[in-house]
Amino acid sequence: MLNRMNELHLRPLRGDAEARDCTARLATFGPWRTMGILAEKLFQDLTNPQREVFVAEQAGKIAGVVILQLGGSLDGYIQLLAVFPEFQNRGLGEKIMQGVEEKIFQRSKNVFLCVSSFNMRAQKFYKKLGYQKTGELENFLVAGQNEILMRKTRGPLLEFCAQQ
């Protein structure tokens, strides 16, 4: 019973109230805070109808959030991943990534994401999960900071399309 309570459940974000709640929590930590990204921009990203936004729920509490951009040339792009500070270092980030990869690999051979050049902890986290640096985007979000583009791949894209 306890084990089931502690299971992590990835489900779509529900409505503006939940988006406001996640925005308020995101605004207190993470690379977006370091870069001075405004809460209103985070709220817009969480409520963008062209994104797929999921929350990670554990024992009825929201432990984290992930924003996916599906379609386009970088199909399967993780725009934002956050585990709220009080839930970090318990393996939830890795579980969220497993759930997200399951969704993305159903439609594409690649999962892409960007991580800020100063965010060493997240770089280590993604490397451990099999992501490789693919490029570096200079001054991409804010002047003076680079974004490292990372990819996890299961093979060439056209091989996948040919199977469809």
CB 135 within 8 A of CB 112: no
Give yes or no for residue 76 binding ligand COA (CB under 6 A).
no
- 79 closest CA partner among 128, 112, 107, 116: 112
Segment holding 115, helix H or strand E? strand 110-116
Shortest Cβ 150–ligand COA spacing (Å): 9
In this chain, which stretch among 4-12, 38-46, 99-107, 117-125 interacts with ligand COA, using CB under 6 A? 117-125
In angstroms, the CA 151 to CA 75 distance is 11
Shortest Cβ 114–ligand COA spacing (Å): 6
Q: Which is nearer to ligand COA, 19 or 56 (CB)?
A: 56
Q: Which residue number places its CB atom closest to ligand COA?
A: 93
CB 62 within 8 A of CB 46: no
Give yes or no for residue 58 binding ligand COA (CB under 6 A).
no
Q: Which is nearer to ligand COA, 14 or 127 (CB)?
A: 127
The one among 7, 16, 40, 94 contacting ligand COA by CB under 6 A = 94
Instruction: Name residues whose C-beta falls within 8 Å of residue 45's C-beta, 6 or more positions apart in sequence.
Output: 51, 67, 79, 80
In angstroms, the CA 70 to CA 94 distance is 20
The one among 2, 128, 155, 158 contacting ligand COA by CB under 6 A = 128
Give yes or no for residue 92 binding ligand COA (CB under 6 A).
yes
Give yes or no for residue 22 binding ligand COA (CB under 6 A).
no
CB 13 within 8 A of CB 54: yes
Interacting residue ranges for ligand COA, rule: CB under 6 A: 30-31, 81-83, 88-94, 115, 119, 122, 124-125, 128
